[in-house]
Structure 1
Amino acid sequence: MRTTIVKSLICAAAFLQIESTVYAQSKTADYFKNWPKGTSPKQIGDRVANRFIETPHPNFGRPTPPARITYPEVCAWYGSLTFARESNNKGLTKKLAKRFEPLFGEEAKLVPLPDHVDHTVFGAVPLELYMQTKQPKYLTMGQHMADKQWGPPEGPRVKPESHEFYKQGFTWQTRLWIDDMFMITAVQAQAYRATGDPKYIERAAREMVFYLDKLQRPNGLFYHAPDVPFFWGRGDGWMAAGMAELLSSLPQNNPNRERIMQGYKTMMSSLLKYQAESGMWRQLIDDPESWPETSSTGMFTFAMITGVKNGWLEKDTYGPAARKGWLALVSYIDENADVREVCQGTNKKNDRQYYLDRERITGDMHGQAPVLWCATALLR
C-alpha cells in the first residue's frame, strides 16, 4: 500500500513538473499572441497595407508628385508585400503587383537609377514580387539594381572616395551614413533570397562589419553622423532593422556573422534600457525630454521581434519589450490607418534643438513601413 502511495506521489510530482514547464512555455509564447481587440498583426497589417495601395506615390510630404519612387515608399511597398506573403493574402499580392505594373510602361521614368543607396533599395520590391509570382521580369529588374550597386562607379554621383571604396571591395555607394545599412542590406539580401547566389549576402555582411567598426559607439548605439553626437531615433532604427534583415538570411558559417551578431545584441541591450514605460522610444533615444516617435519605435520593435523569434535574444527579457513596443506603436494609428508622430525626413545637424523641433507628420511612409515590417515579423 505504502509503495503504491509513494509511486502515486512521484507520478503526481512528475505531472506537476510537466504542467509547470508547459505553462511556463505557453506563457512565454504568449508574448506574441492573445492581442487586445483591434491590435493583432493580421488586423493592423491588413489596414496599413490597404492604406498603402490607395495612397498615390508620395514625395516627402510635398503636394507635387515625385520625380522617382522614393525610398520611404519602397520600404512600405516591401513591407506590404512581405505581409501579404506571411498572411497568405494572394489578393493583396495581386493588388501590390498591379500598383507596380505601370513602372514597366507609362510610369517607367519613376523607376530610380541605381546610383545611390536611397535609389538602389528600390530593387528589393521587384525581387520580392519575383519570389511571390515567379515572373522573370521582376528578377531582371531587381537583380540589375543589386549588381549595379557593386559594379564600377559611374554617373554624376561618383565622388573621389567612391573609387577607393570600390577598390576595397565595398560598394562605391558607401557613405558611412547609418541609413545605408538598411538600404544596402535590403536589396542585397533580397537578391540572395531570390537567386541563392551567396555573393549578394556575403558582400552585404562585409559592408555591415565595415559600418559597425567605423560607426558603432561603445553603448551599441550610433550617432547620426561622426560630427553629430546625437542618437537620433530613426537613424538608429535603420541600423537595427538592417542587422535584423541581414542576420535573418546570413548563413551560420559566414565568417562575419559573429561580429554582426555582437553588434546587434549590444544595440538591443542598450535599446532595452531606453524604452519608455509606455513602450515607445524617443526622437533622441537617450534624451528623456525628447518626444515619443513612431518610426524609430517600429524599427526597434521589428528588430526585437525578429531576434526573439529566431532565438538570438532572451525571450523572457525581450519578448515583453517587443510586445509593449507593438501595442504602443499601434495606438498611434488613426481611423484612416495612418501612423501619427512620424519625424519628417531629417538631415544631420550638430544641434539638439534641431532634432526636438522636427515636424511630426501623420501618414508618412517612414512610419507606415515599420508597422508592416512588425506585422510581418509577428506572423512569421
Structure 2
Amino acid sequence: MLYELRNVSSRAATAENPTAAPGEGGRAGNGRKGAPCLSPLAKGETATLLDHEGPGVVRHIWCTVPPGNPDHLRNLIVRMYWDGQDHPSVEVPLGDFFGVAHGRQTEMASELVSMQEGKGFNCWIPMPFRERAVITVHNDSESDVSMLFYQVDFTVGDTLDESTGYFHAQFRRSNPCPLHEDYTILDGVEGRGVYVGTVLGVRARYRDCWWGEGEPKFFIDGDTDHPTICGTGAEDYMGSAWGLGWVLTPYQGAPVVDGDNGFYSIYRLHVRDPIHFAERLRLTIQQIGYGDIAKARAFFGSNYVGYHAAGAGPGSEQGMFDLSDDYSSVAYWYQTLPARPFPPLPDRAARSADLGPVAASTPKRADA
C-alpha cells in the first residue's frame, strides 16, 4: 500500500551516484547537473547500472538513449543477475525488454513496461533479491552510444519470505521459423514459478493472408503432447479479435501494426491472470494464417498444408494454412533459484537481420 510505513530505505542508482549511496546524489558539478548520463557507452563496453547487496526490491527502471537507431535498440543487451548466480536471469535486447519488437521506438504504455512517447523506457516489474542484485547493459551494436541516461529505483531492507520468486526474462528469435513448426516462446524452465507476460514480434513473410490464427499453448508441469492451456489465436491471446489494430491497454495491446511491411509487435501481460507452475513450463505458438486457399496453394506449392476454418462452408475459397514467418519474443516470469542457463542468445547478425525500413523509429499515437 502506498500509505504503508515500512522499515525499508529507498535508493536510486544513476550515472551520478552509481553505488546508490545515501547522500551522494547531485554532488557532481557542485550540484548543477554535472553527470546526468554515461557518455559514451562505447561499442563492446558493458556498463553496470546496479550492483547492490540485499535484501531488497528493484521497483522501477528508467533509461533512454538517443532515438532513431534500430541497431542500438536491438543490440544493447540488458542482463540481470540475482544472488550471485553466474548466468543471467534476464538477457534481452533493450527495446524488446521495454515492450516493442523489431528495433522500433514507438508509443507503448502498459502496467509493467512502457516506451513513453517512444523515447522514455520504463519498467515497473518488481524484482526482489535476497543477497545481491546486478544489472548491466552491454553495447553489442555496431557503434558507440553517445549518451545512456538511467535511473534504477529500489528499496533495501525488505522482508522476503520463501514464496518470493526471482524475476526472469528471455529473448528468442527464429527467422524464419520453419514451415509446419510451432514457434517456441519459452522452454527449459525448471522450478516453481509464475508466468507474467509475453512480447511477441512477427514479420509476416507471406502477407496475402491474416497471419495470426495460431494457438498459443502453455505446457505446464507434466504436460507432454497437449497443453493445459490452449488459446484460439494470436490476436485473441492479446485481447483483440477478427484481426488486429493499433491499441494499447494496461495488460495487452499492439504498439506496432505495420501491415504494409508485415511488421507487428504485440504484448500480453498476465498481471490479473498469472500462469502458475510447480515444476516446469513451456510456451509455444502455432504459425497459421487465414486467407485465399488458391493463392496460398500457389505460393507454398507441395509444402501447402491447410485446415478447415471455423464458419467456412463447403467449397469455401477461404481457409487456414501453415506459414513460415519471422518470430521474436520476450518472456517474463518469476521462479525459484537456481535456474537453468538460457539457450545462447542469437548473435548480432541474427538479432539485426530484416528489421525493416529504418525500423520506423517514429512514435505512433492514438490520434495519429
TM-score range, shorter chain: under 0.3
Give the TM-score of the pair, scaled to structure 1: 0.24
Higher share in helix: 1
Question: TM-score under structure 2 normalisation?
Answer: 0.24
Structure (1/2) with the larger strand percentage: 2
